[in-house]
A and B are shown apart, each in its own frame.
Chain A
């Protein structure tokens, strides 16, 4: 396609940049989700996911060691240690303070004057509190309340530090077990696989009859299939739920498979028929002349030739049933043993609306399979779209 840019170099650059912008706009939302799902909860809550690779800034407080651990050194008492404790990879101190009013009054390495003595905190977290008298005396180290009694706790130091990026797979562990996504994953599989395979089979036979067998009312049936392609799901929900209850099916897997099969059939028949009509007439007629029955022709000739169309519809139906929320919500029970992933995620959005580390992990778990199917079978998917684009999902 040289027609738009021609050989104009600057226009070609512009074109590439435009597409790059478009691609970034379209992928950044998903990348944000993926990155966030691997971030540590603390970091995710305090910084944007786009800063995930840079160190994040945190404000927190620590206490010095107990006053009686101070050592005397030539007339001054020194209390020293590290605010990070034993955690060597804790991060880097940027600023510190001694009062919650101004928690970052001093830069790391500076010396902060105290009521008696002074405090220094280094970038690596090591601190040194010095005073000309023992710390056990109350005025040196203030506790939370000023009392005359010797303080029993260390001095509170307010800190601003940068934490190195912290990635974890813990979010996935939590949602898979504690939040039931593991179970929901299996439930989704249980819904999606039969709901994909059964309509293919039924539709293939129907499509064969509609394309290669002559009988009265054929064109009427074809028109009906095309019409049913766009019937909104919403219309079917109530009458069918009543029907399922009336015949004793109730809510459960069988009901949801039947519903998905029914809703998927128009597209399946439409796609497969369009494909089958295009098959060479000679092949089928010569098989008939040789005495093959329709059943044999279908099994031995048509089905193998139709594999691409079957794959195209199969991908469609699989993605649709895997991603479905409405049909599962109506026809499947709401108990833990039956809830699918989309339903579970909606529940999480309600109950854990602020726990983005869990929400993003849960969403990503539900997206993995469709994305794998999509990227590995994209060719068939596109072919199916081009053949059957009258249905609105």
Chain B
């Protein structure tokens, strides 16, 4: 009960504080440089200052929470106990077998998850668009997006549950396997295979996202081009892959890169299910282990820099696209 009051109070203070800032800052500006007295230089000056009043909280927060850490992390990765050590941390990193394992697994994730999610999303978009109950189907395929990675981890760990010997399998996967006459397996402890079982969870969660975006793009294709192709006798298969898909390459790229970034930062699923055991370690979880379990911020930051470098090309690409739109 006190906690609810506490939460409510902070909401009021936080939101009220924000509102008060904007209101008071504007009032002060209007007092110092009154705009409505026919003094054009005041109007000019105040309109030079006002944008910064509007922007100040955002700039401060972005600066402290996103820009400053960028530089601080670079410094951390190049130092130890506050002393510059050059590339020592990087040299340690490339020689660390756990890092190599993580890098290898991340590459697997980067190859399979964005590709599979986009592919499933594309097929789901096209199929659901052509049936009557498509909206309901879409919404159900989309639903896992609302679930937390941790929730999804519980759902799927239960599916992969393994019982030794003759016991009844209560995990769906092993039940299917045994009913088909196979041997039940402790899937999550099988090297390489287990990484794929973890990836399935991510595909399950992201396919809906891909579907929603791609379905919107598919619907944006002018009907004439499709009709023309059908009149020319093209099969539905051909129409889809040769006519429709090429027209939405832009959206496919956006979906693919968005999921790629998501995958680079994948943490919760691995953390909750295997915690990097049995050869499933990934960079984000390795970074967490070093920083907050081993307490070695320098090594942790070094691993984080690797993730940042991997994101960099996408970042530059995004900025370029945004600037093109701006012009």
Given A48-B172, A291-B36, A349-B154, verify A229-B318 contact (CB < 8 Å): yes
B172 engages A50 (CB within 8 Å): yes
B54 engages A209 (CB within 8 Å): yes
Give chain A residues whose Cβ lies under 8 Å from the Cβ of B7. Answer: 186, 189-190, 193-194
Q: How far is the CA of A360 from the CA of B158 in the complex (A)?
A: 9
B149 engages A323 (CB within 8 Å): yes
B4 engages A186 (CB within 8 Å): yes
Q: Which A51-72 residues sit within 8 Å CB-CB of chain B? A: none
B149 engages A238 (CB within 8 Å): no
Is A363 on the interface with B (CB-CB < 8 A)? yes
Given A325-B268, A385-B209, verify A202-B148 contact (CB < 8 Å): no
Give chain A residues whose Cβ lies under 8 Å from the Cβ of B57. Answer: 202, 205-206
B322 engages A222 (CB within 8 Å): yes
Beyond A26-B144, A253-B10, list 12 extra A-B contacts (CB 8 Å): A22-B124, A22-B137, A27-B143, A30-B143, A193-B11, A232-B261, A233-B265, A235-B305, A257-B14, A266-B66, A293-B30, A363-B150
B145 engages A374 (CB within 8 Å): yes
A23 engages B10 (CB within 8 Å): no
Q: How far is the CA of A48 from the CA of B157 in the complex (A)?
A: 14
What is the distance, in angstroms, from B165's C-beta to the closest C-beta of chain A?
14
B55 engages A205 (CB within 8 Å): yes
B169 engages A48 (CB within 8 Å): yes
Is A223 on the interface with B (CB-CB < 8 A)? yes
Give chain B residues whose Cβ lies under 8 Å from the Cβ of A16. Answer: 131
Give chain A residues whose Cβ lies under 8 Å from the Cβ of B316. Answer: 227
Q: How far is the CA of A84 from the CA of B160 in the complex (A)?
A: 35
B130 engages A15 (CB within 8 Å): yes
Q: Binding site of A, secondary structure by majority: helix, strand, loop or mixed? A: helix
Partner of B148, one of A187, A215, A253, A367: A367
Stretch at the interface among B85-93, B96-104, B251-259: B251-259
A206 engages B292 (CB within 8 Å): no
Q: Which A12-27 residues sit within 8 Å CB-CB of chain B? A: 12, 15-16, 18-19, 22-23, 26-27
Which residue on A lies nearest to B261, using beta carbons?
Answer: A392
A234 engages B307 (CB within 8 Å): yes
What is the distance, in angstroms, from A286's C-beta to the closest C-beta of chain B?
17
29 contacts between A and B (CB under 8 A): A4-B236, A5-B236, A6-B230, A15-B127, A23-B141, A29-B172, A45-B170, A193-B7, A194-B7, A198-B15, A205-B55, A221-B59, A232-B264, A232-B265, A236-B65, A236-B66, A236-B73, A238-B304, A254-B10, A261-B65, A291-B36, A293-B30, A293-B35, A323-B151, A345-B150, A367-B146, A386-B212, A389-B255, A393-B265
Give chain A residues whose Cβ lies under 8 Å from the Cβ of B153. Answer: 349
- Chain A's interface size range is 35 or more
What is the distance, in angstroms, from A263's C-beta to the closest C-beta of chain B?
6
Give chain A residues whose Cβ lies under 8 Å from the Cβ of B110. Answer: none
Q: How far is the CA of A292 from the CA of B18 in the complex (A)?
A: 22
A32 engages B159 (CB within 8 Å): yes
What is the distance, in angstroms, from B248's C-beta to the closest C-beta of chain A?
13
